[in-house]
Amino acid sequence: MGVVAIYGSIIQDSEPVHAYQLDGEGGFITIDVNAEATPQMPFWLHYDYRNKASYQWIKHSGLFNSTIKDGLTGNINRLRIIRTGDGTLINLQTINKNIGDRPEQLVAFRIYINNQIIVSSRHRKVKSLEPVIDDLTHHVGAKTSGEWLVEVADSINDEVSDFTDILHDRLIKMEEKILTEEIPERGKLALLRKQIIIVRRYMSTQRDVFARLATEKFQWMSDDDRHRMQENAERLGRCIDELDGFVARTAVITDEINALISEATNKRIYTMSMLAIVFLPSTFLTGLFGVNLNGIPGSEFKFAFSIFCLLLSCLITFVIWWLKRGKWL
């Protein structure tokens, strides 16, 4: 797989999103179909595999075998590393920062990489690549394929770390509401828990991918690249540990919400029970004196009803006093 065979007309009509060659000094050279080859430096082609021209170029290119073609065109979705010859296919995912999408709807992208070539593909935009391009634009970026991959891992970790901080802030707000006995909206807690679980699940697998990249003896990675990749694996591991803590905290919040709801329900039931006790004697007496039978005491006395109401009021007052004295109220 020589770099000379890749330059020139072979990339014509492939419609890459980006086409750069690293200049070895932290910058890049824009590639076009008439670019001259510089075999010492790797180049980077970035594609949208849903673009028909890009899809056809990948599928019919003689640069890749069938496994790599399937990976770059989105037919292999698992986070994994596939070694093939001198190159490696790597599937990664990052936080979704595209407008209209939720962060936990992770963006997948695929990378085929060796000493001379980096071909990456995606459908939705990968915001994690923007800092990498920005560094290259300011001539402080990657100089080799290995450095490029490490910078991509750094950028992914930055996004995961930022999102973890956002989740932490939202958890704190919910916990503060619980302390003031205010119940958070149920849908918000469910969404927060879902986001934590999804990100934790996929990032734990990606941590293993980073760890393997740090231990494999790839020709296109230096010892310094492996050391930095191991740091990325450990950094991502710390984010995962935080996410594990968040899962436990959401469980505590759920328990507290259930306790608050239960307490509020019990208070209502207790209040209704006390009201029933207060009016139970008066209900009995009104029912007794309300029967349609002759011989009801005072039926012929004109002040009987008023005296009866007064006696009921006294009885209710007595019951209330008795309940307070027994500390029921």
Q: What is the pLDDT of residues 290-329, one digit of tens each?
A: 766 566 676 666 777 777 788 878 888 887 787 777 777 6
Whole-angstrom CA distances from 12 to 34, 42, 57, 241, 314 are 9, 18, 9, 46, 100
Q: What is the pLDDT of residues 49-91, one digit of tens each?
A: 999 999 999 998 888 888 899 899 987 777 789 888 788 999 9
- C-alpha 228/C-alpha 230 separation (Å) is 5
Q: Is residue 35's pLDDT more than 60?
A: no
State residue 306's pLDDT score. 78
Is the pLDDT score of 235 beyond 70? yes
Q: With beta carbons less than 8 A apart as the criterion, state whether 10 and 4 touch.
A: no
Task: Please report the pLDDT score of residue 292 as a whole number.
Answer: 62
Mean residue pLDDT across the chain: 85
Q: Please report which helix (H) or strand (E) contains residue 197, including its range.
A: helix 186-215
Query: HSE on the CB side for 313, CA within 13 Å?
Result: 6
Residues of the chain above pLDDT 90, percent: 45
Residue 23 has pLDDT above 70, yes or no: yes
Torsion of CA 75, 76, 77, 78, to 10 degrees: 170
For 137, the enclosing helix (H) or strand (E) is helix 129-137
Three-state secondary structure readout of 142-170: CCCHHHHHHHHHHHHHHHHHHHHHHHHHH
